[in-house]
Structure 1
Amino acid sequence: MNNLLPLTNNWDTDLYENNHAFVWEYGQDLLKLLNPKPGESILDLGCGTGQLTAKIAQAGAKVTGIDHAPSMIEKARQNYPYLSFNVADARNFQVTQPVDAVFSNAVLHWIKEADEAIASIYQALKPGGRFVAEFGGKGNIKAIAKALESALQANNISAQTLNPWYFPSIGEYATLLEQQGFDVTYVALYARLTLLAKEEAGMANWIKMFADAFFVGLSAEQQTQIIHTVEEHLKPILFQQGNWTADYRRICIVAIKP
């Protein structure tokens, strides 16, 4: 899920690795689109705990992983001590030498300041360099977000002001890329219902991992009650045969710096 959170750096890396491996497992399909070549310089933007960074390195590329969360970078360094990982923010990172490609999996839906991130990505690329990314697109987790909003409103909490996510349409994001000079060569938006780990605990774990911004200042008892309300609301549509799913919709982008 990898990752550059503007609101919090307090990622639980154990919860992330143990219960949310789908984040990087699905990202392996994006690696095929990246198609890293031996000797290429590649930046993994929002590398999380480093699994996809290591996959890129296995192709022979010279790869560096960056992430906004120090806990993620610390864990990535433990996992892959032979690779380079640094703490950096998607909105203002800089590179010492331009790279052949910027790769980003499941990160940019955390970055509401999309223009700033795109500007940083553009300046990081060599002329002819490519930007390959997948993240939550328009309609992503629509049912989960609606259930969360309803449960929070019942407790007199405004979900809108706490919402950490940015889920753009194809037209919106492609336009932002083009306005900053990119040539957009591929874009797609598709549904991807995603099975959550840990059976009946799957939705609660997902909320604790990825929706913690909504629970700032609430007691443990209040959090538990709200999560239970969300589960009850979602059970008829996202819980089947003892397992939870998340109603993901992903946007996939390839753009070239001329």
Structure 2
Amino acid sequence: MVPAMSTDDKWSAQRYNTNASFVYSPQYTSPTLNLLAPQPGERILDLGCGSGDLTIDSLLPAVLPGGGIVGLDSSSSLLFKARQNLSSSSSVSPSDKANLSWIKCDGHDLASLGKDGEFDAVFSNAALHWMKRDPQKVVDGAYGLLKSGGRFVGEMGGALNMVGVRSALHSILADDGVDASKVDPWFFPTPEVYRAILEKAGFRVESCDLIPRPTPLPTGLRGWLETFAFAFLDALPSPADREAVIDEVCRRLEVDMKHDVGDGGEGKWTVMYVRLRFKACKD
């Protein structure tokens, strides 16, 4: 039985898949998956699995036969879509679908799962930067879930990620009397900061690096803001105010982020993603 979607869930699976499919595209996820190097028979937790596209298409096939994946996310909307995606997948056999399960859980609450030492690996793609309240608690939880010899591999937003966009949101909201620092949901650490968090949890860090990644946006900056900037926009009193902020962010950033494509095209938006990619082991 699929649980009802929470009314306070700000995520929209439809917007996510339409405006941000690059998040789980092979073009951008292959390096982190190669660092993970999942093997048949392994049991892996996908921390922040979203709508499950990467979980179903890349992680599950890699651990078969004999392995299993648990996809975990805090969004009911995204997990509802993930279950739909698995049910309708023609590339996964009915018997293999039983090796993938879903859990609704905040990443800060991994210790509540009661699965200490169950997983060969914890994997996370484009999710850890949303777990800002207590990053140490998230990493401690991942450590506890791993077997001895297990690994924690992930990619998240790092220092300078979305440079320009974030500062524009802060500046424009300040003009409207809103302190954006109180609603900003993102944690974009330097490698030094995140390495220290991993080591404090007990991990041996094999790698922790920043990777600049200019990223074209399929529906422009407006689509990106509508999908990911809800914490900022929801601090405003009306839909009209939110639209005005989106318009102003796009106006200010067009000169740097929108580029001609030639042949009379309208131009394409590209933003500067800076990813922090890491591998850490539990000895």
Question: Which bracket does the TM-score occupy, shorter chain normalised?
Answer: over 0.9
TM-score normalised over the length of structure 1: 0.93
| Contact 2:12–2:227 (CA under 8 A) maintained in structure 1 | yes
Aligned twin of 1:66:
72
In structure 1, distance between residues paired with 2:237 and 2:154: 34
Offset at 1:13? 0.4
Of 205, 209, 215, the match for 2:233: 215
Quote the Cα distance in structure 1 between the aligned partners of 2:102 and 2:147: 21
Alignment partner of 1:98 is 2:118: yes
| Distance in 1, Cα, partners of 2:127 & 2:9 | 14
**1:19 offset after TM fit, Å?**
1.8
What stretches of structure 2 of length at least 5 have no aligned partner?
1-7, 88-96, 261-266
CA distance in 1, matches of 2:278, 2:118: 20
Identical residues among aligned pairs (%): 38
Q: CA deviation at 1:29?
A: 2.6
Tell me which amino acid in the other structure corresponds to 1:139. Answer: L
Structure 1 stretch displaced more, 100-109 or 81-90: 81-90
Give me the CA root mean square deviation. 1.2
Cα deviation 1:141-173 (Å, max 9, x = unaligned): 121011111211111111111100001110101
In 1, the alpha carbon distance for the partners of 2:15 and 2:70 equals 24
Structure 1 residue 252 corresponds to structure 2 residue 269:
no
- How big is each residue's C-alpha offset from its partner over 1:18-63, in whole Å with a ceiling of 9 and x where there is no partner? 2211001122331111111000010100000111111111112411
For 1:71 and 1:214, locate their aligned partners in 2 and report how far apart those are by CA, in whole Å.
20
Take 1:164 and 1:228, find their aligned partners in 2: how far apart are those partners?
21
Question: What is the deviation of 1:246?
Answer: 1.7
Deviating above 6 A after TM superposition, structure 1's stretches of 4 or more consecutive aligned residues are: none
Cα offset, 1:119, TM superposition: 0.9
CA distance in 2, matches of 1:12, 1:179: 35
Residue 143 (structure 2) pairs with residue 143 (structure 1)? no
Following TM superposition, by how much is the alpha carbon of 1:95 offset from its aligned partner in structure 2, in angstroms?
A: 4.8
What pairs with 1:22-101 in structure 2 (closer than 5 Å)? Answer: 22-25=22-25, 26-54=28-56, 55-59=58-62, 60=64, 61-81=67-87, 82=97, 83-93=100-110, 94-96=113-115, 98-101=118-121
Per the alignment, residue 93 of structure 2 pairs with: none
TM-score of the aligned structures, taking structure 2 as reference length: 0.85
Question: Which deviates more from structure 2 when the two are superposed, residues 81-90 or residues 134-143?
Answer: 81-90
Q: Determine the C-alpha separation between the residues in 2 that align with 1:35 and 1:185.
A: 14
Once residues 31 and 90 of structure 1 are traced to their aligned partners in structure 2, the CA distance between those partners, rounded to angstroms, is 20
